[in-house]
Structure 1
Amino acid sequence: MGKAASKLSNEDLNELKKSTKFQTKELKQWYKGFKRDCPSGKLTREEFIRIHKQFFPFGDPTDFSNYAFDAFDKDKSDAIDFKEFIIALSIASRGTKEEKLRWTFNMYDLDRDGIISYDEMLLIVKAIYKMIGPMVELSDDEASPDLRVQKIFRLMQKQPDEKISLDEFTAGSKTDPNIVMSLELYSGLV
């Protein structure tokens, strides 16, 4: 691709303006940074994990990074291209609460069957607890991943042997202050 790959094409730029909440100038800046950090035009799983380790030095973000990577990697190519990256970043930083909840649901739905099981949620929550390490003090009813998932299922009026649909996840998550707060984590940062 040579020089052509060093800039976003007008077609790609127009497509990304329609599918993200970024302006032309921002998209060009993000693309320049992405190409600087990922000259191949692809972000590998290993690079993605390394980036998360910089943000979570007191925990182990490896498992969470793998789950997040799979959510970013929409085409399942085992690499994140700029389009996948910028669309996910747009949702995380500027998306509506519903868009953020849908993206989060998709990350929790590990087998991509359109519902979240207790075991799927437990795997993600364990990864989050492992990632944050000892830096966050948790309430007694959330002191372990099991207790946190039990609390979420109770909040959504589900038993551990039941599954959660996107609509149930969206409705239930809006009543959990921790989930609502985590959705706003990236708002306004970019």
Structure 2
Amino acid sequence: MSSKRQEQAKIIEKLSKRKDKARGCHFKKHEIEKLLTMYDKHLEGSLNVKKLDRLRFRDILHDMFGMTDDMLLDRVFRAFDRDNDNYINEDEWVMGLSVFLNGQLEEKVRYCFNVYDLNQDGFISREEMYQLLKHCLVKQPTDEDPEEGIKDMVEMCLKKMDLDHDSRLSYSDYAKSVEMEPLLLEAFGRCLPEPDKCHCFMNLISDEYTKY
């Protein structure tokens, strides 16, 4: 067995043993193997690059999941990049996709909150909500100021989700709000795959008798 295959086998074995319901790996061994093969294919043609960089990762999100918002693409990258080295290694790739595609609600809540917490201070502020929501409204041919519409949306979100009334969302505010109303999970922009995109991706890796 080549050193690469040995290394991959160790990663598969390690990840497949992570069975914790909230923070475990939600893929089977053959699915992890497919994901690692996919990871390597995305590095083909790269000189001396052994990890996924931001641009390649954004291309994957765009091509496979139809995600296009630049700010959210960057934040999803940050959520996957757990060691903050500006690359996604094989472990981060598999564990990130585990939440992205198959995560328990608690995992998805934590993931989405981390995406929306732009400055990573543990809160989603008014300013962050404004930045996240400003691309959501389609500009209408009216005299109404679109910025006022965004500000109104921010205030509506705070009224609905700011449970401790401190004019910002803590993780507790956000998690309790989503528990009461699951549709609020992606209140500030889509950062999880659409069900059909998720289904198509899982079909790529779920059949252990087909090659990617």
User: The TM-score by the shorter chain falls in which range?
Assistant: 0.7 to 0.9
State the TM-score, normalizing by the size of structure 1.
0.74
**Structure 1 180/111 Cα, relative in aligned 2: closer, same or farther at 3 Å?**
closer
Gaps of 5+ in 1: 135-142
Q: CA deviation at 1:10?
A: 3.8
SS in 2 for 1:112: coil
Larger Rg: 2
How many angstroms apart in 1 are the aligned matches of 2:162 and 2:69?
30
How many angstroms apart in 1 are the aligned matches of 2:71 and 2:122?
21
SS in 2 for 1:43: coil
Q: CA deviation at 1:72?
A: 1.3
How many angstroms apart in 2 are the aligned matches of 1:82 and 1:144?
42
Considering fraction of residues, name the structure with more helix. 1
Residue 35 (structure 2) aligns with: 30
Residue 44 (structure 1) aligns with: 53
Percent of counterpart pairs with the same letter? 23
- Asked if 1:173 is matched to 2:178, the reply is yes
| Deviation digits for residues 40-87 of structure 1 (CA, Å, limit 9, x no counterpart) | 442211122233443548xx5222211211111111111111211211
How many angstroms apart in 1 are the aligned matches of 2:155 and 2:170?
16
Q: CA deviation at 1:186?
A: 4.8
Gaps of 5+ in 2: 19-23, 140-147, 203-212
Q: CA deviation at 1:153?
A: 1.2
> Is 7-16 or 149-158 further displaced after alignment?
7-16
> Is 80-89 or 25-34 further displaced after alignment?
80-89
Q: Say how many residue pairs are matched.
A: 175
**Structure 1 50/12 Cα, relative in aligned 2: closer, same or farther at 3 Å?**
closer
Q: CA deviation at 1:156?
A: 1.2
User: What's the Cα RMSD here?
Assistant: 3.2
